[in-house]
Each structure stands twice: as C-alpha cells, then as structure tokens.
A and B are shown apart, each in its own frame.
Chain A
Amino acid sequence: MREFQFARAADPAGACSAAAGAGRFIAGGTNLLDLMKLEIERPEKLVDISRLPLDEVEETPEGGLRIGALVPNADLAAHAAVRMRYPVLSRALLAGASGQLRNKASTGGNLLQRTRCYYFYDTAMPCNKRDPGSGCGAIGGFNRIHAILGASDKCIATHPSDMAVAMRALDAQVETLKGDGSTRSIAISELYRLPGDTPEIENVLEQGELITHVVLPPPPPGRHAYRKVRDRASYAFALVSVAAIVAVEDGRITSARLAFGGLAHMPWRDPAVEDLLVGQAPGEEAFRRAADKLLENARGYGGNDFKIPLARRTLMATLHDIAGGRA
C-alpha cells in the first residue's frame, strides 16, 4: 500500500475542506482499502468520515426516509421502516456481500464502490478505467461478468452494487455537501455516468463533494421484489439482478418500476420498458414485449452472451412472481 496522509474529520464541512485537492473520504473502507492494498487506489490523503453524525434514518415530511450516508448496510436492511415500506431495498442489501461486510459498509460508500472487473483488479493488464488510454482487457478477454447494455469500446465493466439497483427503482435522491458549503440533491438517475470515452469518471460528484444522505420518496404502490442471479447461492456479485415494484389493479398493471444490476456501468433503468407494461394485463405476452424492449440494444462480448437470455428470463420470472399472469 502506498503512503498517505490521514486526517479525521470533526464535522461534514471539515471533511469537505480536508478533502479539497486530492483527499479521499473513507467510511467503512471495505472497498477502498481492498483497492489500496492492490495499489489500484493510491490516495495521497484519506479523510476519515466514519465518526460524523450521519448515521440516522429519519422520516421525511413527505412520507419518505432520509438515510444518513454512514448508516451501515446491515442496519439499513434491518431497519423496521425499510423492511415494512421498502422491502425491495432490504432484499437488495441482504443479497449483497457478507454479514461482516454489511456491518461495516456504509450507504454512501456502497453507492460509490468500484467495479469488480477482473482487468480493473489486475494491475498487469490494460484497463482504461484504472489507467486511462491503456486499453480494455475485457473486450476480447474473459468477460463473463461484463456489461451488455450501455458499454463502450473503452470499457464494458459493470457497477457491482445491489443496494443502488433498489435505490434506482425507488427514485432515490443523493444529497451532497461541497467544500464551498453549498449542498445539492442529485437524482440517482443522474448520479452515474456511462463509460463512453472516460470510464475512469464514474459519477458526477466533484472532488471533495461528500454524500451526506440518501432520500427515498414515499414508497411507490405495488409489490416489491429483488431477484439476483449469481454463480453461487450467497456472497457473490450479480450476473443479473432485477429490482421490481409493480402494481396491478383490476387485472391491469397500473405502475411498474424496474431497475437492473449486472447489465451495465450503472444501475440500469429504461422508462420505455415500464411504459410498455402500464395498462397491460399481466402475462407472458406483455412481459415478453417488455423484455424485448429492455434488450433491443443489448450486445454480448462472447463470455457474457448468456446474460441476454438470462436477463430476459430473470425479468419475466420476476414479473410473474409479483404481478401474476402465469399460464
């Protein structure tokens, strides 16, 4: 691990000023320290934010929840209001990592965790995300876990979070504080970037901008599900996952929210897929059309070709589970 300066922040504003220039925030550290050991991450300065008072889950006046950025994944999954009103979020959190990691990993850190692409992790291999301009080892290499949507000829990595997929389906807002004292609220749909020509830039946050809270709007109507397909039954990243919230009234789908993990550089959501479902009777035909829409621009890279039919089947099975319509 490279040497770094270490500072403990006394309050959020102090954290932002300490991180000005080249500082990196550390909260749970479960991803950052792993990457620092491998010298993939080489921060000059770490700013310890783990003791800031951002560890509460509060009710909002609108009937939603405001989650402190330092709430551990384990506590968020077990929180009574999350279990009762946002089960898709509890389920997504519980499908990720291990008990030990969920006890340490923070809400803000989970959103910003880096890809688990093998080539990003292997410093002997080219990777445009780790070393811009060096090339992409995954294209033409082993790419079983890689993206089928929204990728570029520079990068086909996926975002690894389960939590962020549920939050995308729930239209979460990410609240931040900047070094100049200003705050902003970023829709999760605007937080992440596709790889394009700059896969090293993964989100719209600025240097020294601190995630302070994640706000969930009031729970949407309908049944919730989080379905994750992976290579082993527990403690593995998603090959494909679906966060689904679907309401059915009088035999018609009245609202549908669908977000996907394992398919792209960000938690994926396509309003056109949801629009196709609204007004339809739940069933094979409507679900197949939705899956066709989701995957119309999907592209495999050899090792991950299987993800195209897998995403289709996972979506359709999840819709059958929560909306019915099975023949």
Chain B
Amino acid sequence: MRLTVNGQSHDVEFDVRTSLLDLLRETIGLTGTKKGCDHGQCGACTILVNGRRINSCLTLAAMHEGDEITTIEGLGSPDGLSPMQEAFFEHDGYQCGFCTPGQIVSATAMLEEAGKGWPSHVSASLEGEMRLTPEEISERMSGNLCRCSAYPNINDAIAEVAGGKS
C-alpha cells in the first residue's frame, strides 16, 4: 500500500491490525509522534490527516491509502521551526517533552479550526465572533494531556501564535 507522509510517498506492507501510529513509528521510522495511552485519551499521537487533527492510535493504517498525512516532522525541522514549535520553545511549553509533538500538531490544527469560526463548548454564542481566550484554548486543547502539567506555558505559546494570526 502507498502512504503519503509529510509529502513523501512510502510503499509499505503491514499486518492489517497496525494502527497508523505504529506504522509511522515502527515501519516508516518517524518517531516524533508519541505513543502515550494508545486509547485516544492522551493526544500524544496527534497527527494531521488531510489537514485535520486526529488520534493516530485510533485509526487503522489500512484506512489511509491516498490521504495526506502530516506528522510533527512535517511541520518544521530543527533548522526551520514552525511558528508553533518556536513559540513552545520560547515559552518553555513543556517539561519532559513527551506530549509536546502531539500538543504542537494539535494546536496548529486547532488554530485552523478556530480560523474557520468553529465554536467550542465554552463559546458563549454559536454564531457570534469568536476570540481565542485562555478558556477557549484550554477547552479546544482538552484532548492533549500533559502529565507534567505545563499547561500555563503551553497556553501562552498557543496564545502567542493565535495573536500573531489575528
């Protein structure tokens, strides 16, 4: 089967039970995407499929032929950090770093969702103008857990990128 990851196509063979997460890490060798809970609860495995953030642990690799898959490695590189990577660095938005790739990929896509005007559970109005307040950022990022609890700095990093965008 052919998979497109970070713009590169890969011809891969795998057991049909393989999650997209395991395929990325074990077969393709992109280990930036982390396996935390493996049950969709922690968000460490967040990647983009056709631009949307999903939990790569809860989807079968076999279901993604032809999809555009983006991992943390596709967002930026040590020599060319993405704005969100740069902001996490600037704001010290991590402690142990294990959840960080998932946080950054999730936050990047979350800003796209907010840019489309998608409301959240904490939005006062479903139709009114939406501002990415700290409360909005926390709610929209609730699928990414940080066991070190670096949330204040994670939120600051995201808020900086969000502010730059508006």
Can you list 11 A-B pairs with a CB-CB distance of less than 8 A? A3-B17, A33-B19, A48-B62, A74-B118, A78-B117, A78-B119, A94-B119, A99-B141, A101-B40, A101-B143, A233-B142
State the CA gap A233–B127 with chains docked (Å): 22
* Residue of B16, B58, B109 touching A34 (CB-CB under 8 A): B58
Q: Judging by beta carbons under 8 Å apart, are A100 and B106 in contact?
A: yes
* Residue of B58, B106, B113 touching A30 (CB-CB under 8 A): B58
Kindly state whether residue A87 has any CB partner on chain B within 8 Å: yes
Q: How far is the CB of B25 from chain A (nearest CB, A)?
A: 16
Q: Judging by beta carbons under 8 Å apart, are A104 and B59 in contact?
A: yes
Q: Judging by beta carbons under 8 Å apart, are B17 and A104 in contact?
A: no
State the CA gap A34–B19 with chains docked (Å): 11
Kindly state whether residue B70 has any CB partner on chain A within 8 Å: no
Within 8 A of B (CB), among A258-272: none
Q: Judging by beta carbons under 8 Å apart, are B54 and A103 in contact?
A: yes
Q: Which residues of A contact B (CB under 8 A)?
A: 1, 3-4, 6, 26, 28-30, 33-34, 37, 46, 48, 50, 74, 77-78, 83-84, 87, 90-91, 94-95, 97-101, 103-104, 233-235
Kindly state whether residue B138 has any CB partner on chain A within 8 Å: yes
Q: How far is the CB of A244 from chain B (nearest CB, A)?
A: 16
Kindly state whether residue B165 has any CB partner on chain A within 8 Å: no
Kindly state whether residue B34 has any CB partner on chain A within 8 Å: no
Q: How far is the CB of B100 from chain A (nearest CB, A)?
A: 16
* Residue of A33, A233, A235 touching B60 (CB-CB under 8 A): A33
**Taking A77-B119, A83-B119, A101-B40 as contacts, is the C-beta distance between A234 and B139 under 8 angstroms?**
yes
Kindly state whether residue B73 has any CB partner on chain A within 8 Å: no
Q: How far is the CB of B109 from chain A (nearest CB, A)?
A: 8
Q: List residues of chain B with CB within 8 A of the CB of A4.
A: 16-17
Q: How far is the CB of B124 from chain A (nearest CB, A)?
A: 12
Q: Judging by beta carbons under 8 Å apart, are A99 and B143 in contact?
A: yes
State the CA gap A233–B141 with chains docked (Å): 12
**Taking A98-B142, A99-B140 as contacts, is the C-beta distance between A34 and B63 under 8 angstroms?**
no
Q: How far is the CB of B146 from chain A (nearest CB, A)?
A: 13
Q: How far is the CB of A90 from chain B (nearest CB, A)?
A: 5
Kindly state whether residue B68 has any CB partner on chain A within 8 Å: no
State the CA gap A122–B59 with chains docked (Å): 22
Within 8 A of A (CB), among B36-71: 38-40, 43, 46, 52-55, 58-60, 62-63
